[in-house]
Amino acid sequence: MVNLGALKAPRTVIYCYPMTGVPGKPLPPNWDSIPGARGCTPQTCGFRDHHSELTVLGAEVFGLSTQTTAYQQEMVQRLHVPFEILSDAEFRFCDALRLPTFEAEGLRLLKRLTLIVRNGIIETVFYPVFPPDESADQVIRWLRHAGQPKPA
């Protein structure tokens, strides 16, 4: 359990994505033709690969999807993800913020977006996120130029 309202980092990056695949298990039919569906693993790998740079810029990173914690743990281990991937399987976060969703094969899934939170307030939103493998780069550019914390 993570209380997103109690985080101490200057900024929190929460990238939301529909679902990651599991090797050997097929994705829903026509997954690649659903706008914004494809690219969850490359997006996660981008945040993984840039994690130290994001940390230096004062950001704590979380991934978030509506998949179960067990499902996500497999991906975290397989991809060596150095940050928490959060499960919103009950849609509490999603519904509280009225985040956009879509349906595929009877599953309600989050549309891809990235939130940057500062002091418990959403400071900026990247939506839509495209291409997903450049999402971490977009966040880094924003943090460097528009989002540097001002001295107190």
Give the residue with greater pLDDT, 142 vs 30.
142
Give the long-range contacts of residues 65-71, CB within 8 A, separation 24 or more. Answer: 65/16, 65/17, 65/18, 65/19, 65/20, 65/40, 65/109, 65/110, 66/19, 66/91, 66/94, 66/101, 66/107, 66/108, 66/109, 66/110, 67/19, 67/20, 71/22
Q: How many CA atoms lie within 13 A of 68 on its CB side?
A: 4
Q: What's the pLDDT tens digit per position in 39-89?
A: 999 999 999 999 999 999 999 999 999 999 998 999 999 999 999 999 999
pLDDT at 152 over 80: no
Answer left, alpha or beta for residue 120, where phi above 0 means left and psi between -120 and 50 means alpha: left
Burial of 117 (0-12, 13-18, 19+ CB in 10 A): buried
Q: What's the pLDDT tens digit per position in 92-111?
A: 999 999 999 999 989 999 99
For the chain, domains (ranges, CATH) are 8-145 (3.40.30.10)
Instruction: Return the percentage of the chain with pLDDT > 70, whole number.
Output: 95
